[in-house]
């Protein structure tokens, strides 16, 4: 278990693939960080990304990039077996979901309760507006220019 420096600190957890790190990711993590005192980030394993194209950037490199961000207190790779496994170590108070993440907040809260991991689930409502604020947009632009 990750030590908790004080009982009054609010621990936030954000998760994602974080492929081709871009301003939309920074916006999401900044909004998540604003919800509390410590920001933990779980970076999706390559093998677990099944709802969209596989990441371009390998998981260890994506972890390194997210870990280097000043707003992130601790980043780690997710579990390949059980997405709730790292939560047992982190014990977040709040889980921040991105506006486009596929989780249902109510169902996730119920599943967390069943597992003895009570946490509030909060959805960050908006993404940063910019022309290249998504991995898909970046890939399309690269293909347009160089493809």
92 φ, ψ (degrees, to nearest 5): -70, 150
Q: Which residues contact 35 (CB under 8 A, 6 or more apart)?
A: 10, 12, 94, 96, 122
Residues 102/12, Cβ–Cβ less than 8 Å = no
Q: 3 among the known binding-site residues?
A: no
Distance CA 65, CA 120 (A): 27
Q: 22: annotated binding-site residue?
A: yes
24 annotated as a binding-site residue: yes
Q: Report whether 100 belongs to an annotated binding site.
A: yes
Instruction: Name the token pair of 127.
Output: 């993404």
- Asked if residue 6 belongs to a known ligand binding site, the reply is no
| 15 in a labelled binding site | no
Residue whose C-alpha is closest to residue 19's, from 51, 83, 65, 78: 65
Q: Which residues are annotated as a binding site for ATP?
A: 17-18, 22-25, 100
Q: Which residues are annotated as a binding site?
A: 17-18, 22-25, 100
């Amino acid at each position: 278990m990750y030590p908790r420096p004080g009982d009054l600190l609010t621990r936030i957890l954000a998760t994602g693939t974080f492929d081709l790190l871009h301003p939309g990711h920074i916006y999401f993590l900044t909004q998540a960080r604003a919800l509390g005192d410590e920001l933990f980030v779980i970076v999706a394993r390559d093998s677990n990304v099944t709802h969209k194209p596989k990441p371009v950037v390998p998981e260890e490199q994506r972890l390194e990039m997210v870990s280097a961000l000043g707003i992130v207190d601790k980043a780690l790779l997710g579990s390949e077996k059980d997405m709730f496994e790292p939560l047992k170590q982190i014990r977040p108070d709040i889980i921040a979901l991105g506006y486009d993440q596929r989780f249902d907040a109510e169902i996730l809260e119920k599943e967390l309760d069943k597992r003895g991991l009570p946490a509030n689930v909060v959805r960050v409502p908006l993404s940063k507006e910019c022309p290249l604020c998504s991995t898909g947009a970046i890939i399309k632009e690269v293909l347009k220019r160089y493809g």
